[in-house]
Chain A
């Protein structure tokens, strides 16, 4: 039997506000355990949470960027469960009136456009962290630094039809949040993670099969592996006439398999009710418009525009729009030097390479876009050759000096003086009679050898086009 895979994702992203969701303590990753806490984080009796306005702004931005509708009336609800990393005994979340609902995003899979609908985006508080007590089996250690950090949950519809598609969707969401600058999306630090619901059904069937849920994954590779494993596992069960058990499963990274979670048999009963400590939120048109106007150009729109406006191939555009900072940088270089292709090559190739070696990112590049554009213009007007430019750029990254400065200081100006080049050519011809003989007997491939020798004599500064032309002329003369 042929099966169709049905996947829906619940993506959690921590928002990068300065303070926590309902209190003033800093929202920062890490730090000594329990150093970013206060009476509200700890849920002390008698304290009142107050909502951080910025967290609402960020959630609305995410919602609008993902084509969601905005609830004009929104509120928080208590979700009850006991776990040591949740000091109040409940999580403040949103159930009936999430801030955003009914959205969609488009993304590309193998050159085809796909669309995934978004059921809702709601705002809630993150929990603390339970840490395995080293060398002790009877206790767990708890750190509340992360407790109360604003978290959005982006719930997709079950529109994804393969593990590959699920990953592409997940990446697209990450990219959008990064462009909006509302979340770090740092998967290693756990600020961007997801749960996946997956089921199979006979191809052509309209009904959904029984699903399993894969919890708390924070790596693209692991999610893909876990989903692929589930596809295989469920298909085997169904083919042999069995039934998939609806359950939560965890991915065992080391063995590459998913396993049912033990001890969670009882169905959860969260006893949601409206959070009495927080008043409802009313969102008017003006608020929505203010957020809408603040949205940047989104990654997919930017890619399409770059291809169209700068005539770049898709592969280059994907690299250049990888982050908003890189895209902005590229665009500034392209516009300043007037040659989008050259700008793309220098940014993607040498600049990124040199920055990586220097352990820098585009955001703190010692070479600004205008400085790189200046260097490209020096190639355009023949002041330096492309080869020398590489060396110049390396120096620019290392020293932060301008191209002009480096060219002057190191005497790297390209030599286009015919007399000088001819003198070098004469010398090379005189020193290499055997190769001259070869050339004249028809093995014109040795021309490259001569060019190399002349460039070496000029220490790379001779204008390569001129060297080429003058060499040919000399060698063909006699």
Chain B
């Protein structure tokens, strides 16, 4: 076998191993946010720790005081749900049954957020076709 061929095979092998390791590292450590049910399963380990909590805004749970800029709502993943308090205006794409990721800490069962991010689904369509938001699909996107 030529020297070049050996080097090429070695290179492919090294890259393959590197890729495998990267994928392992990413999938185990890069959990961008936790779900309410994951918090419920392991409350102690998250107490007082700064985390990102992600889920859907429960329909009918949103209360917003425009004067005081107090926003409260329930974030849920269909299994568990927790009240969220956020001092600030809701983002434009914040909506009931919409995805959110909140950065903050748990205090006595209430998640106090200081940063409210929107996680929208990958469904794009004009408003005229009258189809309601597919909540199941949104939940699927949060898994």
Is A bound to B?
Answer: no
